[in-house]
């Protein structure tokens, strides 16, 4: 069976789009998908520091075009996008540790991630705020306070670090990083060839 691994960070607007857009591909192909939380800041620090340089020049034509394309992609996907807000760029480490606490329960990890993406990118809420994350988890029927407490555990911190290091070792330089049976793909715009790769696997 085709295997799709989806390494992601909840702070990434392009990942918000890809997380939504990949769902139809997963359904069509029947692939086995595994959601893999990582810390995109750790990826940038290790292999792609040019991201920070680009952020310091918001009027650069490439940056401006990417921002316009982001909103056009959101309209194409019929997704609400309230971005950027005063919370951008946001520290996502707390949210991603909560995701790691849920990683062994892929169904609930998906539900929490979907709801957190919506909170940040559709409603403009701060996902660095523990009270916001608690409400999101509770609305998903998950124990928010318990999950928040788990984020302080060394095993969860180590898990997020290990996931991030694994993503880097497998080629990641941003979010989302997708692997189809170890073949590397990156970004929302590569989803058509992700689909093609999944359909080619018996």
For residue range 134-192, list pLDDT tens digits in order: 999 999 999 999 999 999 999 999 999 999 999 999 999 999 999 999 999 999 999 99
- What pLDDT score does 155 carry? 98
- Taking only the tens place, the pLDDT of each residue in 7-44 is 999 999 999 999 999 999 999 999 999 999 999 999 98
CA dist., res. 176 & res. 186, Å (int): 6
* Residue 141 φ/ψ region, left for φ over 0, alpha for ψ in the -120 to 50 degree band, beta for the rest: left
**Residue 116 confidence class, pLDDT cut points 50, 70, 90:** very high
- What pLDDT score does 1 carry? 83
CA 166 to chain centre: 15
Phi, psi for residue 8 in degrees, rounded to 5: -150, 160
Could you identify the residue written with the tokens 């292999």? 47
Beta bridge partners of 34: 5
CA dist., res. 149 & res. 154, Å (int): 11
- What pLDDT score does 65 carry? 87
Q: Domain 3-199, what fold? A: Glutaredoxin (3.40.30)
Containing H/E element for 53? helix 50-55
Kindly state the tokens that stand for 115: 């709801």
Residue 144, C-beta contacts closer than 8 angstroms, at least 6 positions apart: 133, 134, 135, 136, 137, 138
Percent of the chain with pLDDT over 70: 94
This prediction has a pTM of 0.94
Domain map of the chain by residue range?
Answer: 3-199
Beta bridge partners of 177: 7, 186
Beta strands across the sheet bearing 32-37: 32-37, 3-8, 177-180, 183-186
């Amino acid at each position: 069976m085709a295997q799709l691994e989806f390494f992601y960070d909840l702070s990434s607007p392009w990942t918000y789009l890809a997380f939504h857009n990949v769902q139809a591909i997963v359904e069509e192909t029947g692939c086995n998908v595994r959601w893999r939380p990582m810390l995109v800041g750790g990826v940038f620090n290790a292999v792609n520091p040019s991201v920070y340089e680009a952020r310091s020049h918001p009027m650069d034509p490439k940056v401006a075009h990417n921002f316009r394309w982001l909103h056009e992609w959101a309209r194409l996907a019929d997704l609400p996008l309230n971005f950027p807000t005063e919370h951008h760029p946001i520290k996502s480490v707390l949210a991603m540790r909560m995701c790691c606490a849920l990683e062994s329960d892929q169904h609930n990890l998906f539900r929490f991630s979907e709801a957190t993406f919506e909170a940040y990118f559709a409603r403009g809420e701060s996902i660095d705020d523990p009270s916001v994350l608690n409400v999101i988890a509770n609305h998903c029927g998950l124990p928010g306070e318990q999950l928040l407490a788990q984020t302080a555990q060394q095993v969860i911190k180590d898990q997020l670090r290990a996931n991030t290091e694994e993503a880097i070792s497998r080629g990641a330089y941003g979010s989302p990083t997708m692997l189809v049976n170890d073949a590397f793909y990156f970004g929302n715009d590569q989803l058509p060839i992700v689909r093609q790769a999944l359909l080619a696997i018996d």
